[in-house]
Amino acid sequence: MDQKKIKLSIKNISHGYIVNDDVFQAASNISLDVYDNEFLVILGPGHCGKTVLLNIISGLEEAEVGQKEIDGQPFKGSDKRIGMVFQELALMPWKTVMANTEFGPQMAGMSKQQRRKIAQKYIDLVGLHGFEKSYPNKLSGGMKQRVGIARAYTNEPEILLMDEPFGQLDAQTRYAMEEEIQRIWQQEKRTIIFVTNNIEEAIYLGDRIVLLSKCPAQIKEIYDVNLPRPRDSVSPEFLGLRKQISDNTDLPL
Ligand SMILES: Nc1ncnc2c1ncn2[C@@H]1O[C@H](COP(=O)(O)OP(=O)(O)OP(=O)(O)O)[C@@H](O)[C@H]1O
Ligand SMILES: [Mg+2]
């Protein structure tokens, strides 16, 4: 990365839930700086608190303890500078690709002409040109995820959170989408926080990898991935890092 300006900071984030009259801790004292235009991967075992952490960053949930900052300025709750691609794809089945993609700016009151122009730019960027009038049930899993990405970009956020976006795809489509998200990010740089439980995916995509512990999520280690892109997933360096991370990864609860 050329510049190391801090875009997002979270400080001392802790969060728990009351379950059967007991406190169940999901995240414990997480502090992290994310650089401008960085592709940061958060890697952690199943049910460790990854979605809870993203929801806190996006403002869908309020952390019990901790602070958040964008460009050094504290903020609370949700913020239009942050966009999200959800783990469970939340496309509206009764709306076309275009209508799903332009929904955010439409809700914000943007004129039809203006929002169409922006939505079209990102539909093209994700490779769905020609599918604007299709409904989600006519699209493959990978294409639906492309709509989810186009929709998030169309809100023009500065920070994009992606919660295991390729977790439900078959292996071949997943590899293709890993290449695609890298191409999209290189073409339209944003600060991306990408959550996965897949070590190869983390090393393939991340500028850095934040490894979380089992629940309650804590940061175990942060890895710099100094490998040229596109990465060769069978190079000795890739496999060495894979082993190092794998040896340090907790089993899920
Ligand atoms: N609203 C809630 N009430 C109680 N417990 C919750 C709530 N939300 C999350 N949890 C618990 O917090 C823990 C972390 O959940 P989270 O969804 O963040 O896991 P995850 O790392 O995203 O898992 P996965 O890889 O399966 O998506 C889980 O044990 C979950 O049951
Ligand atoms: Mg999750």
Mean pLDDT score of the chain:
95
pLDDT for res 78? 94
Q: Ligand 1 pocket: which of 51, 194, 196 to mutate (most atoms <8 Å of CB)? A: 51
What is residue 227's three-state secondary structure? Answer: coil
Pairwise CA distance, residues 7 & 28, whole Å: 22
| pTM for the model | 0.95
pLDDT (tens digit per residue) in 243-252 = 999 999 998 7
What is residue 78's three-state secondary structure? Answer: coil
pLDDT, mean of residues 55-68: 97
Domain boundaries, the chain: 6-81+157-247
What stretches of the chain show up as alpha helix (H) in DSSP? 50-58, 97-101, 103-107, 112-125, 141-154, 171-187, 199-205, 236-247
Distance from the alpha carbon of residue 87 to the mean position of ligand 2, in angstroms: 7
Distances (CA, A) of 26 to 53, 193, 196, 212, 228: 9, 19, 17, 12, 35
**pLDDT: which is higher, 179 or 89:** 179
Q: What does the DSSP assignment read for 36-65?
A: TT-EEEEE--TTSSHHHHHHHHHTSS--SE
pLDDT, mean of residues 64-81: 97
pLDDT, mean of residues 142-153: 94
Shortest-distance Cα residue to atom 28 of ligand 1: 47
pLDDT, mean of residues 168-197: 94
pLDDT at 2 over 60: no
pLDDT at 1 over 60: no
pLDDT for res 168? 87
Find the residues whose C-beta lies inside 6 A of ligand 1.
17, 19, 24, 26, 44, 46-52, 87, 164, 197, 215
pLDDT (tens digit per residue) in 87-120 = 777 899 999 999 999 999 999 999 999 999 999 9
pLDDT for res 53? 97
pLDDT for res 28? 97
pLDDT at 86 over 70: yes
Assign domain 6-81+157-247 to a CATH class. alpha beta
pLDDT at 38 over 90: yes
> Of ligand 1's atoms, which has the minimum distance to the CA of residue 49?
18
DSSP 231: P
pLDDT, mean of residues 171-176: 92
Shortest-distance Cα residue to atom 8 of ligand 1: 52
pLDDT, mean of residues 3-20: 94
